[in-house]
């Protein structure tokens, strides 16, 4: 039987794969596993519940609230809030755990259920496995006064905004920002936070109707943001995804500033201010070679992990590092957050513009972006990727041709029968040529 939990909670098409029955059962199972410590201490567990604005979140969050309360958990319903806000609030009030209903950057028909442990931290794989096992166990069934209560978390948004503002090293006065809220969970919080921080704010993608989340807007569709920045003469554009755990940016000329460039800017700033712990940045193997070279030029160590923000977070927690993230815009600032926080990241990026008086384009100049191409080769035997000798020879030839001016990465997909071929080089034609040459070898050697 396939594992129910994926890399970021339980996801699927709402009311098809992610049903009311599954949501109810998961909530009851989570109450057993994540509420055990509180029950052992003789008190009723408390959970924070939040969601993004997609329409299915209404019935799924109702099912989760019912499941938790029926298992003796007091539920604080925070309503529509970003995922990082839910994580922060769990820690802020000392809740035992929390639940976020969201499918992040996915389209509206999808949804997901993500659990956070005490402190607002992501669950370890073994804890997720324990919740899956608990689905088949007898449900907790308190009666009378022992059932949980469901109450509105009235000041949830205000608590989160105050926290965001408290982290800023410099106010945003004098900066005109265009925010793209992806018709998602950032629509209420992000404009408020940026205005309260002193920025002049223009907002797009802030009219969620339950079905338009991520639809042609947000961090996966930056064209509208670039157009808005140019049309309004703004200095910077900030784009979130549906649950606001990502941040990508656009400079005053409409150029995209990705997660690698954002991390480069923040890492150099944090080192300068003595806030970059052990002068180390954590990023994945998919981050651009230019990021690694920029960090080396600035005396910063770059620790690389497997692809996925959970692996970045694991490495940060193990080493006690203060900054990490992904090219996609998941940036984790562990002094202030336990997970990727797109609003926090955007605020700190714009704060650095205000602090230095430099444009975003100038700040992004700390890093040269190497041309990068990613080719997905489907219908292949992933298991033979690292054992096929002719493929190993072709890989070695490509790496020898690039030398220190590029790199090659062959990576099997974790969920599909395909291999990802990524090549970086000093120029785009070389990257394209080597990537497609290697893709052909992968297809010929590993095709099934």
Domains defined for the chain, CATH in brackets? 10-154 (3.40.120.10), 159-364 (3.40.120.10), 372-446 (3.30.310.50)
Residue 419: the pLDDT is: 87
> Which residues sit opposite 333 in a β-bridge?
323
Q: Evaluate whether 51 touches 36 at the Cβ level (below 8 Å).
A: no
Known binding-site residue numbers for Mg(2+)? 104, 241, 243, 245
Residue 381: the pLDDT is: 83
Given 70, 104, 190, 219, the catalytic residue: 104
| E strand residue ranges, 37-194 | 46-51, 74-80, 97-101, 110-117, 121-122, 150-152, 176-180
Look at the alpha carbons of 202, 204, 207, 213 in this order and tell me if their dihedral is positive or negative: negative
> Which residues sit opposite 122 in a β-bridge?
116
| E strand residue ranges, 153-242 | 176-180, 200-204, 236-239
| Distance from C-alpha of 283 to C-alpha of 255, rounded to nearest angstrom | 22
Distances in Å between the Cα of 402 and the Cα atoms of 7, 187, 289, 399 are: 33, 45, 12, 5
| Distance from C-alpha of 123 to C-alpha of 310, rounded to nearest angstrom | 10
| E strand residue ranges, 24-103 | 46-51, 74-80, 97-101
| Distance from C-alpha of 50 to C-alpha of 85, rounded to nearest angstrom | 9
pLDDT means over runs of 10, the chain (448 residues) = 82 95 98 97 97 98 98 98 98 98 94 97 94 94 95 97 97 97 97 98 97 95 97 98 96 97 98 97 93 96 90 94 96 97 98 98 95 89 84 90 87 77 90 92 85
End-to-end CA distance of the chain: 24
Annotated catalytic, 104? Answer: yes
The pTM of the full predicted model, rounded to 2 decimals, is 0.91
Residue 326 burial by Cβ neighbours in a 10 Å radius (0-12, 13-18, 19+): buried
Q: CA Rg, the chain, in Å?
A: 23
What's the distance, CA 94 to chain centroid? Answer: 23
| Distance from C-alpha of 413 to C-alpha of 308, rounded to nearest angstrom | 12
Known binding-site residue numbers? 104, 241, 243, 245
Angle (nearest 5°) at CA 317 between 314 and 319: 105
| Distance from C-alpha of 5 to C-alpha of 129, rounded to nearest angstrom | 8
């Amino acid at each position: 039987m396939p594992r129910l939990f994926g890399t970021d909670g339980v996801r699927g098409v709402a009311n098809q794969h992610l049903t009311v029955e599954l949501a109810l059962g998961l909530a009851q199972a989570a109450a057993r596993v994540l509420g055990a410590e509180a029950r052992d201490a003789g008190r009723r567990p408390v959970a924070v519940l939040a969601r993004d604005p997609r329409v299915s979140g209404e019935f799924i969050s109702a099912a989760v609230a019912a499941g938790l309360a029926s298992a003796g958990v007091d539920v604080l319903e925070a309503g529509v809030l970003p995922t990082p806000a839910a994580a922060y609030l769990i820690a802020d009030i000392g809740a035992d755990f929390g639940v976020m209903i969201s499918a992040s950057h996915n389209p509206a028909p999808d949804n997901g259920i993500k659990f956070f442990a005490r402190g607002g931290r992501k669950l370890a794989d073994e804890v997720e496995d324990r919740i899956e096992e608990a689905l088949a166990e007898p449900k907790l069934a308190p009666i009378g006064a022992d059932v949980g209560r469901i109450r509105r978390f009235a000041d949830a948004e205000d608590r989160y905004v105050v926290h965001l503002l408290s982290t800023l090293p410099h106010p945003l006065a004098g900066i005109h920002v265009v925010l793209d809220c992806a018709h998602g969970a950032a629509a209420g919080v992000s404009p408020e936070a940026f205005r309260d921080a002193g920025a002049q704010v223009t907002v797009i993608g802030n009219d969620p109707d339950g079905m338009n989340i991520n639809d042609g807007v947000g961090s996966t569709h930056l064209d509208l943001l670039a157009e808005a920045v140019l049309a309004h003469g703004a200095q910077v554009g900030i784009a979130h995804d549906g649950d606001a755990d990502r941040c990508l940016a656009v400079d005053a000329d409409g150029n995209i500033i990705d997660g690698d460039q954002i991390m480069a800017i923040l890492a150099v700033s944090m080192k300068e201010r003595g806030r970059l712990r052990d002068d180390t940045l954590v990023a994945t193997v998919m981050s651009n070679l230019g990021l690694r070279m920029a960090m080396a030029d600035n005396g910063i160590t770059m620790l690389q992990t497997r692809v996925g923000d959970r692996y970045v977070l694991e490495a940060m927690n193990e080493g006690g590092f203060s900054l990490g993230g992904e090219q996609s815009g998941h940036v984790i600032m562990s002094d202030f957050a336990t997970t990727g926080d797109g609003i926090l990241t955007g605020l700190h990026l714009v704060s650095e513009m205000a602090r230095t008086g430099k444009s975003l384009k100038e700040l992004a100049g700390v890093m040269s972006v190497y041309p990068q191409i990613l080719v997905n080769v489907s219908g292949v035997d992933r298991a033979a990727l690292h054992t096929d000798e002719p493929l190993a020879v072709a890989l070695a030839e490509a790496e020898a041709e690039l030398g220190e001016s590029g790199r090659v990465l062959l990576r099997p997909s974790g969920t599909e029968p395909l291999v990802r071929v990524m090549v970086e080089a000093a120029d785009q034609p070389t990257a394209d040529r080597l990537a497609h040459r290697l893709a052909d070898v992968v297809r010929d050697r590993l095709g099934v």
